[in-house]
Amino acid sequence: MLDVNQIKTVLRSNEVMVENVKVVHRDFKFYDGANFVLVGVRRAGKSFLLFQQMQHLLNNGKTWKDMLYVNFEDDRLLGFETSDFERLLEAHASMSGSDEPPILFLDEIQNIEGWHKFARRLADHKYRVYITGSNAKMLGSDAQTTLGGRYVVKTIFPYSYHEFLNANGASLSEEQLLLTNEKAKMNRFLEEYLCYGGFPECATSPAKTEYLMSVYQKIYLGDIASRHKIGNTFALRLMFKKLAESVKQPISFSRLTSLISSTGTKFSKSTAINYMEYSKDAFLIMPIQNMADNFTERETNMKYYFVDNGIISLLTLDNRTTLLENMVALALWRKYEAFENTVFFYNHNIEVDFVIPEHGLAIQVCYDLGEKGSETYIRETQALLKLGKKFSAYERLIILTYSDKEYQINADDKTIEVMNVGKWLLNNT
């Protein structure tokens, strides 16, 4: 049980911190009149979105008498229990001298047992509430039943390419890219985004590799290994490495088990299934299913992508084609929030990297398409043409490359758009 004065001290210091923190505006809108739960991988920028909203309110007439901010990973709140939620409200009421319900910003609340019951009570009593958490399990069936549709749940990802450019003071348009010097700048930023990803603090850091390593360690040791009491962290690290090396191909639980067991490490299929679930819960990886598979194969032989390209760079070498496909997957993940039910790959006699049936869209990703008649050119174009012939609903066929060459391929009464991935990202993130 925490002392009310101790909570007051935390609240007051948080007010000063929020007022002085530098926030890079992100492309996210909080709907008026709605409560929010923001979830996503650690360091994706959830807290900064809360800071963005608090600074917006302060700039538009609100004061700290009207709101409060708490981060439940604050070491000064160690021992915070369910009963302390009421003391939090008492502490703010004492400081503000007001009986009006404050706007609450509650960061990393999943650390507190029974948080969802408190959140439900706040919503029932017409409080405005903004919550963040770094584990999907916080929104398990019990929590969802308790919250009862009173909160809008949004997944927050590391920077999109557009946000990455904004953070670096380089908001580029397609018109600007016609200029030689702007095109060179664009290529530099695209290369950086491809290799180091979009974790907000990494975007402008001069020590990107070191920062990425610290985040990765925190996710796999803290959010996964420690949370789930995994003793064999060596097997866990091997699993992530194998997944990173296999980004472009489907991998089954049996195959993953075999690969890791071949190193002499004790690793069972059930362990593989559990570790994968833990990793998904921590938002580290995302699966997509083969649209052509039956139910069992869809669930057990998926492709896996990582939430940020920087993690892949830590785990693999000679990885440019892998990074390119993962970068496109992330853009699609942001664009289509119900990713697992919207975006698929197609693998049945032909292989297509991404298909979005609801939008009649199919996408191939390759680093360099090559000249007409080359092996890569034939493989990538023929797969799309065959898919378009088999399923007439796929009206838009795209090949994304790292090359600046852009053109159309007309064949079999179909049109394939060959596009530069950087330009595509500008229009799709």
Along the 429 residues of the chain, how does pLDDT read in single tens digits?
Answer: 788 999 999 999 999 999 999 999 898 889 888 999 999 999 999 999 999 999 999 999 999 999 999 999 999 999 999 999 999 999 999 999 998 999 999 999 988 988 999 999 999 999 999 999 988 878 776 777 788 889 999 999 999 999 999 999 886 666 665 566 677 888 899 999 999 999 999 999 999 999 999 999 999 998 999 999 999 999 999 999 999 999 999 999 999 999 999 999 999 999 999 999 999 999 999 999 999 877 777 888 899 999 999 999 999 999 999 999 999 999 999 998 766 689 999 999 899 999 999 999 999 999 999 999 999 999 999 999 999 999 988 999 999 999 989 999 999 899 999 999 999 998 876
pLDDT of 119: 94
Write down the domain spans for the chain.
Answer: 4-155, 193-428
pTM value? 0.93
- Is residue 399 within 8 Å of 381, Cβ to Cβ? yes
Residues 6+ away with beta carbon under 8 Å from 276: 239, 253, 256, 285, 304
Element (H, E) at 4: helix 4-20
Exposure string over 133-155, b if 16+ CB within 10 A, otherwise e: bbbbebbeeebeebbeeebeebb
Alpha-carbon distance 311 to 60, whole Å?
A: 39
> pLDDT tens-digit profile of 189-243?
999 999 999 999 999 999 999 999 999 999 999 899 999 999 999 999 999 999 9
Q: Which amino acid is at 249?
A: Q
What per-residue confidence (pLDDT) applies to 429?
66
Element (H, E) at 183: helix 180-196
Tell the CATH superfamily of the 4-155 domain: P-loop containing nucleotide triphosphate hydrolases (3.40.50.300)
At 354, give phi and psi (nearest 5°): -140, 135
> Which residues, at least 6 apart from 111, have a Cβ–Cβ distance to it below 8 Å?
72, 73
Residue 346 bridge partners (DSSP): 352
